[in-house]
Amino acid sequence: MNLKKESTDSKSLMDRLLDNAKKTQSSAKEELLNNSLSQKQQIAQKSDDVLTNIYLSSQKNSIYGQMLANKSEGVKTVKDAQNIEDVKKRCKSFRLRIKRC
C-alpha cells in the first residue's frame, strides 16, 4: 500500500512538472511572438518614416526648383523689357509690388 501511494505521489509530481514545463514553454513562445510582432511594427514604422521623408524631400526640391525657374524667368523677362511698361507688366504677372518712379 505504501508503494502505491508513493507511485501516485511521484506521478502527480511528474504531471505537475510536465504541466509547469508546458506552461513555461507556451509563455516563452507567446513572449517571443509578441516581441517579434512589436519588432515588425517598429520596422514598419521606421520604413513609413523613411518613405515619408523621401516624399517630403522630393516635394521640397520640386518647390525650390520651381521657385528658381520662376526667378530666372522673371529676371530674363525684365532684362528683355523694352520700356518701363513692360517691366510693370512682368512684375504684375509675378505679383511683385513696384514703387512709382
Is residue 66 within 8 Å of residue 58, measured between CB atoms? no
Q: Give per-residue burial for 54-64: e unless 16+ CB within 10 Å, then b.
A: eeeeeeeeeee
Give residue 49's domain range: 2-71
pLDDT 10s digits, 2-31: 555 555 455 688 788 888 888 888 888 888
C-alpha cell at 75: 529676371
Q: Show the DSSP H helices in 80-95 as ranges.
A: 84-93
Long-range contacts of 12-18 (CB under 8 A, 24+ apart): none
Q: How many independent structural domains does the chain possess?
A: 1
Entry pTM:
0.47
Interatomic CA distance for residues 31 and 36, integer angstroms: 8
Low-confidence ranges of the chain (pLDDT < 50): 1, 8, 101
Residue 51 forms part of a structural domain: yes
Residue 41 forms part of a structural domain: yes
Residue 54 forms part of a structural domain: yes
